[in-house]
Amino acid sequence: MAGGTWTKQNKQRPGAYINTKAIAQTKPDTSLGRVLLIGAMQTGWGAHGVIPLEIESDFKALLGITLDDPKLVAVKEALKGAVTVLYVNMNPGEKAKISDAALPWSFTAKYAGTKGNDLTVSVEKDPNDETLVNVNTLFGTELVAQQQVRTTTASGLESNPYVDVEFTGDMTTPTGDASATTGGAEFSATAGKAKLEALAASTTYKLTGGTTEDAEDELDLIDNALSTENYNVVTTAGIAAENVLHGLVATTTKRLREKEGYKIRAVVPALEGGTKYDYEGVSVVNNGVTLADGTELTATQAAGWVAGASSAANETTSLTYVAYPDAVAANPKRSNEQTIDALNAGQIVFTTRRDGTVVVEQDINSLVTETKDKSKDFRKNRVVRVLDTITTNTHDAFESRFIGKVANNDTGRSLFKSDRVSYLTGLQDAGAIDTFSADDLVISPGEDSDAVVVNLAVTPLDSMEKLYMTVNVG
């Protein structure tokens, strides 16, 4: 009896030669639920750059403050809808540190910033075992990390989320056959023992020298994050409405969508008399909300929730009449005329319903000018999400399964058409598009031998929003 796997049909013995392979699956949209949020204020702590945040993240370790801090209100609101917030943190500066001759270690704050000066390291000897030492890290008055080492194993002290530890030993010549390493000379197992034994029962060391500086590379940092991070919605929520960053982000969003094919969308606050974006890739938030605890959120702060909810919405989802979590009133409330004016200006408005909930009046973007290429349907964010999804999925499918792999002949183009028909039929079944048939998709050879041209007729579905009813009484 013979068997096994095969790569070529060249077996000599009779038998069954069977390969087991996974069927290639369509990749999920890994950007869904991810918001790129540009930090409104420096917190004096955290990595200078993009920090991924989720609702269960340790915000104090990552940003030096809790999620309830007013500086993070836009992040908190975004996480009511988003899975992940990619927080662009502006934190250049110097790291706080302490290097004391009495210690066998030096301590450096994990990040730059003035918050590093709130770090304290205490070294306490165990009263019941003179060889045991507790090393505590305090952030302000809060104990944030604790480790226990023996005087004979001081080199085993590890870094934690707040401080990096460097073992310095007794600052003497290494003993035995120790060799040089990247971090300096290796010390013997007992290096540092003498220093620890000489310490008092409890000693405290405060880190100093941490600074927070102005971010000179702010625009470069933002542009790099916009161009390289994996997300589907970017927002300037939390930044004052008059700040020029809103316009810069909107302009970059348009460039990425139209020049690079990266179908992201932006959410910015409205400014009376400010920029008229008039673009389907930018949503503008007109007003804010009042939360159940009395907190009043401005339009720029509430834009965080709009961005988070938008990032999690797929091609079959509309935010029209979706309730704002924990909100009890629009802030400020808009009259009927003001609401209509805002909608006509392409702005998202929060409305207080009679049942006390606060809802999105209509899930629209800032497009107000209709052209032959962009009808009024392009004003609706659900429609834009459908079209963006089709574009992105087709791009990814072509790159991953067809480029360089399939011949550009009738058979190859038929394979590509079959792939797209299957995908589009799935969108129809899911209620994203309507009345699709294979005849709506035509794939032809392009002018060059390696080019194909795709023409697709598709009807995105919107959600029910208006009811016109006539009641006949007989």
Length of the chain: 474
Whether residues 243 and 308 fall in one domain:
yes
Residue 4 lies in a domain: no
CATH of the domain at 154: 2.60.40.4290
Residue 132 lies in a domain: yes
pTM comes to 0.86
CATH of the domain at 44: 3.30.1370.220
Whether residues 138 and 200 fall in one domain:
yes
Reading the chain (474 residues) residue by residue, the pLDDT tens digits are 555 555 566 665 555 555 555 444 444 556 789 999 999 999 999 999 999 999 999 999 999 999 999 999 999 999 999 999 999 999 999 999 999 999 999 999 999 999 999 999 999 999 988 889 999 999 999 999 999 999 888 989 999 999 999 999 864 433 333 333 334 334 444 567 888 888 888 999 999 999 999 888 899 999 999 999 999 999 999 999 999 999 999 999 999 999 999 999 999 999 999 889 999 999 999 999 999 999 999 999 999 999 999 999 999 999 999 999 999 999 999 999 999 999 999 999 999 999 999 999 999 999 999 999 899 999 999 999 999 999 999 999 999 999 999 999 999 999 999 999 999 999 999 999 999 999 999 999 999 999 999 999 999 988 877 677 777 887
- Select from 327, 360, 393 the last residue of a domain: 360
Whether residues 416 and 430 fall in one domain:
yes
- Exposure string for 300-317, b = 16+ CB within 10 A, e = fewer: bbbbbbbbbbbbbbebbb
Percentages helix, strand, coil for the chain (3-state, rounded to 5) are 25, 25, 45
Whether residues 394 and 271 fall in one domain:
no
- Select from 176, 195, 212 the last residue of a domain: 212
Domain count, the chain: 3
- Select from 317, 334, 360 the last residue of a domain: 360
Whether residues 86 and 178 fall in one domain:
no
State phi, psi for 377 to the nearest 5 degrees. -60, -30
Whether residues 192 and 255 fall in one domain:
no
Whether residues 224 and 84 fall in one domain:
yes
β-strands 233-235, 265-269 pairing: parallel
Whether residues 235 and 355 fall in one domain:
yes
Write out the residue range of the structural domain in which residue 437 sits. 376-460
Angle between helices 381-401 and 410-430 (to 10 degrees): 150
Among 342, 335, 330, 434, smallest CA distance to 382 is for: 434
Angle between helices 218-228 and 245-259 (to 10 degrees): 30
Asked whether the beta carbons of 309 and 348 are under 8 A apart, the reply is no
